Amino acid sequence: MRRTAVVLTSLTTLTLFAAGCGLDEAEHSTASGTAVELDNCDHTVTVEQTPERVVSLNQGSTEVLLSLGLADRIVGTATWTDPVLPSLEAANADVPRLADNAPSFEAVLDEEPDFVTASFTSTLAEGGVATREQFEELGVGTYIAPSACVGKSVVSSDGARDEPFEIEQVYTEITELARIFDVEQAGEQLVAELEDRLATASQTDAGGTTALFWFANAESPYLAGCCGAPGLIADELGLVNVFDDEADEWPQINWETVADRNPEVLVIGDLTRKSQTAETAAAKIEFLESNPVTREMDAVKNGRYITVTGAEMNPSLRTVYGVENVAAQLRDLGLAD
């Protein structure tokens, strides 16, 4: 630990201090180039020099960095639910994976990072990899996706949202990381591409078809509430989430309640990680068709399943892929125009 701290003093200089949560930004010139200052989930982050060694601790954040062409600066990644996007496979091929799930603080420090990014506040908090303060004490800058804190009065990865997730929060993440890493043009191009794709996918209209979004766990399933990424997917496509009365992003709800609400279509996560029960779509469908409660549901009897990756159900650029994916499968099922 001490060895790493000494090494870090010669790396990128970053000054960070606590401040109010917001998205306002400012920049100014320095002798070493352009410094970037921004408010990020209760921290003001000032980056005096462009980071050269970044560890990305969640898949969503990693795919943003890869999409910005920053693979050569990523010295470690962790916490994956699915394979990387096919379009990013080549860029990701030589990026070290520190762990499929959460790595230890020591494993991250061994890579001698000067910056760390995450998609969820819980990743950089007590009980996570380490707190932001622990990294900052060693001179390591931190950044958390705005989607993890904007619109939340109680900030946690699965906590209640006071305001629905909006895709603009992902665009802000892309824009801010592009500024931090001095690749603004790549950020603008990526946002424009996602905007165009979302606008095209959103032309599909499910006309109020009722839906359930199931992430993982068979015994006490994590089902989407109103206001996370699945809520955005539903709103864009004219679906009605049968649990849109739940403010938590992923409340755990019993199957009897699910059966009572009897959604017309089931949107299920096809995860490759090994953390919960019923991770894959195949395991979920096997459970649904064998469980005496769920097998009587209309969607199960009629095989109305839509599969998406776990990454598409988390707030990230993959949410746009989720809208496209669900839209295509709704049309295949004859449930949307």
Q: Which amino acid is at 152?
A: K
> Which domains are seen in the chain, by residue range?
2-198 (3.40.50.1980), 204-332 (3.40.50.1980)
23/255 Cα distance (integer angstroms): 39
255/236 Cα distance (integer angstroms): 27
> What stretch of H or E contains 45?
strand 43-47
pLDDT in single tens digits along all 337 residues of the chain? 323 333 333 333 333 333 333 333 333 333 345 789 999 998 899 899 999 999 999 999 999 999 999 999 999 999 999 999 999 999 999 999 999 999 999 999 999 999 999 999 999 999 999 999 999 999 999 999 999 999 887 665 567 889 999 999 999 999 999 999 999 999 999 999 999 999 999 999 999 999 999 999 999 999 999 999 999 999 999 999 999 999 999 999 999 999 999 999 999 999 998 888 999 999 999 999 999 999 999 999 999 999 999 999 999 999 999 999 999 999 999 999 8
Q: Which amino acid is at 72?
A: D
CA distances from 87 to 57, 90, 109, 237, 270 (A): 20, 7, 29, 25, 19
Q: What is the pTM of this model?
A: 0.88
CA distances from 306 to 111, 224, 282, 322 (A): 39, 15, 12, 11
Put residue 157 in one of left, alpha, beta given phi > 0 → left and psi -120 to 50 → alpha: alpha
Would you say how long the chain is, in residues? 337
Contacts 24+ apart (CB under 8 A), 17-21: 17/43, 17/44, 18/42, 18/43, 18/44, 19/43, 19/44, 21/149, 21/150
In the DSSP assignment, the letter for residue 248 is: B
